[in-house]
Structure 1
């Protein structure tokens, strides 16, 4: 069974990727810092969920190319 992410996490992650093209990488730790910089997420838990989903989307995008 996989993790189920809320629509808020998915929407914010997709918005961040679209507005900051080429900034996010497949490195989770770097993406955590970038999510803190580019968004106003209030909790560490939510930041990590968004950074994890961003990392997943970037990896999927790279494998499709």
Structure 2
């Protein structure tokens, strides 16, 4: 992958979701696959969910931690 991140489609985009570990609810704004490796020789990709809570502040969590609210 030439980019260090890539937007992904997700069935819950723009819908109300809950972050399971924290219990915080918000709107799923994006799911992005990011290369979090610190070396060009080793690629480590993770899917990160960006959630906007009711105050307007966004936070991230693993996409596996997201469920419909």
Query: Does the alignment reach a TM-score above 0.5?
Result: no
Q: If each structure's helix is expressed as a fraction of its own residues, which one has the higher value?
A: 1
How does the TM-score come out when normalised to structure 1? 0.23
Q: If each structure's strand is expressed as a fraction of its own residues, which one has the higher value?
A: 2
Higher RCO (C-alpha under 8 Å, 6+ residues apart) = 1
The structure number with the bigger radius of gyration is 2
How does the TM-score come out when normalised to structure 2? 0.23
